[in-house]
């Protein structure tokens, strides 16, 4: 990290051992991305009075090239965040997931789906049909693959949006999803 992290406590004294826990969790985050520029961690007890103890709010701001990752963990109703260490763990776990997602996006590891294609209904039988692609190829589809208006409302010549199933079926290429337009 280029800048030292900042840990601040609002309306409370710094508990023993918290700084070491935060330092260790930031070191874990740096294993996922060595490009973290800075980090601010803010801890604050809840303003409300509770029968058992204070609930803790935790806010983590990670500064990375191209933006920042902000995580807020407000106390849930089930009082799990009465323990400050649990509240910090939950907040850093969420920050780790967001940082991993950001790293995957930058690497291009994020799965992209093929855009749906437009075709026309070529023929209809009782439980399946064929559609005609823009290249003139016929693609099989089962009536259960039709979304929206349903198979019964389709007519020959209707335009549909479809997604080709990865493997070929017995009838050749097969549409896994057909949406009437």
Euclidean distance between the first and the last CA atom of the chain, given in angstroms as a whole number: 52
> Would the pTM of this model clear 0.75, i.e. be above it?
no
Domain co-membership, 90 together with 48: yes
Q: What is the pLDDT of residues 20-75, one digit of tens each?
A: 999 999 999 999 888 889 999 999 988 655 555 678 889 999 998 878 999 987 76
Q: Which of 107, 137, 152 is the last residue of a domain?
A: 107
Q: Copy the structure tokens of residue 3.
A: 């800048």
* pLDDT score at 111: 64
- Which residue has better confidence, 109 or 144? 144
Question: Per-residue confidence at 108, pLDDT binned at 50, 70, 90?
Answer: confident
Identify which of 148, 170, 110, 126 has the alpha carbon closest to the alpha carbon of residue 162: 148
> Are residues 132 and 168 located together in one domain of the fold?
yes
Q: What is d(CA 171, CA 174) in angstroms, rounded to the nearest whole number?
A: 7
Structure tokens at 13: 């004294």
**pLDDT at residue 117, rounded to an integer:** 86
Domain shared by 73 and 123, yes or no: no
Q: What is the mean pLDDT of residues 149-171?
A: 83
The range of the structural domain enclosing residue 22 comes to: 6-107
If you write DSSP's letter for every residue of 64-105 in order, what string do you get?
ETTEEEEEEEPPPTT-GGGSHHHHHHHHHHHHHHHHHHHHHH
Looking at the 3D structure of the chain, how many domains does it have?
2
CB 63 within 8 A of CB 42: no
The reply to whether 14 and 73 lie within a common domain is yes
Contact 38, 63 (CB under 8 A): yes
More confident residue, 7 or 163: 7
The residue-averaged pLDDT of 158-177 equals: 81
Residues 59 and 98 occupy one common structural domain? yes
> Is 146 among the domain residues?
yes
| pLDDT score at 101 | 87
Q: Are 8 and 42 in contact (CB under 8 A)?
A: yes
Tokens of 31: 């294993």
Cα–Cα distance for residue pair 154/138, rounded to 1 Å: 16
- Helix/strand/coil for 18: helix
Assign 3 a pLDDT band (cuts: 50, 70, 90).
Answer: confident
């Amino acid at each position: 990290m280029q800048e030292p992290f900042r840990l601040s406590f609002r309306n409370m004294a710094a508990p023993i051992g918290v700084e070491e826990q935060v330092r260790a969790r930031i070191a874990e985050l740096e294993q996922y991305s060595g490009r973290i520029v800075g980090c601010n961690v803010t801890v604050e007890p809840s303003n409300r009075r509770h029968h058992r103890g204070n609930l803790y709010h935790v806010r983590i701001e990670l500064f990375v090239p191209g933006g920042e990752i902000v995580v807020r963990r407000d106390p849930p109703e089930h009082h799990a965040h009465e323990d400050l260490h649990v509240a910090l763990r939950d907040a850093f776990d969420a920050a780790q997931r967001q940082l991993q997602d950001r790293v995957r996006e930058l690497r291009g590891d994020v799965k992209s789906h093929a855009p749906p294609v437009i075709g026309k209904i070529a023929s209809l039988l009782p439980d399946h049909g064929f559609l005609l692609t823009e290249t003139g190829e016929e693609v099989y589809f089962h009536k259960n693959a039709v979304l929206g208006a349903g198979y019964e409302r389709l007519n020959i010549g209707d335009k549909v949006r479809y997604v080709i199933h990865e493997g070929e079926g017995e009838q050749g290429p097969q549409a896994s999803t057909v949406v009437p337009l």
